[in-house]
Amino acid sequence: DVKAMIDDAVSGFGGLDVLVNNAGFSHRITPLWELAEEEYERVFATNVRGVYLGCKYAVPVMKERGGGVIVNTASIGAVMPRPGVTAYNATKGAVMTLTRGLAVEVAPFHIRVNAVNPVAAETGFMKTATGLDKLPEELRKQLVTTIPLGRLTEPRDVAAAVLFLASDEAEFLTGVCLPVDGGRSI
């Protein structure tokens, strides 16, 4: 329960300065017209509703505290979609719009809202999307050839971007959807 998570953070740490909404789920790679409605609903519930609920319960706490930072995880797929994951890409587009809209709404309360847009990474997410334990080398090479820096995103890349957006060094950034994509979106 998201509200309980926020309440636990406040009671355990005395407040909430930063919220990172990082839940994400994808359906198996399949054309949209073949995607089961239940899978579509699950992807939207996790990727969009989860972010909404995190923001809904964090903002009042941050307002009372005098400010804060929210960083949402979207995806470069929202900007440059690949085939077979249309519903997933749509959810991440919704997260980008939610990020920008909320940034405008909460700026007067000194709350910043940004997002990171990672490119593909070899994580459990990719296992879910492909249904495979390891990415086939041919598919891996195909993905990497679209990334100018020549590799997939690693969790540390995303973590570094989130840390920056949550830091005081980014105090004048809000509504930013930062590509963490090795140049794919150029």
Has 88 been annotated as catalytic? yes
Catalytic residue among 40, 52, 57, 88, which?
88
Burial class, 21, CB count within 10 angstroms (exposed 0-12 / middle 13-18 / buried 19+): buried
Query: Other CB atoms closer than 10 Å to residue 41's CB: what's the count?
Result: 12
Distances (CA, A) of 13 to 5, 8, 109, 178: 12, 8, 21, 28
Q: Hey, what amino acid is at 103?
A: A
Which position has the token pair 């140049």? Answer: 183
Residues 6+ apart with CB under 8 A from 159: none
**Catalytic residue set:** 88
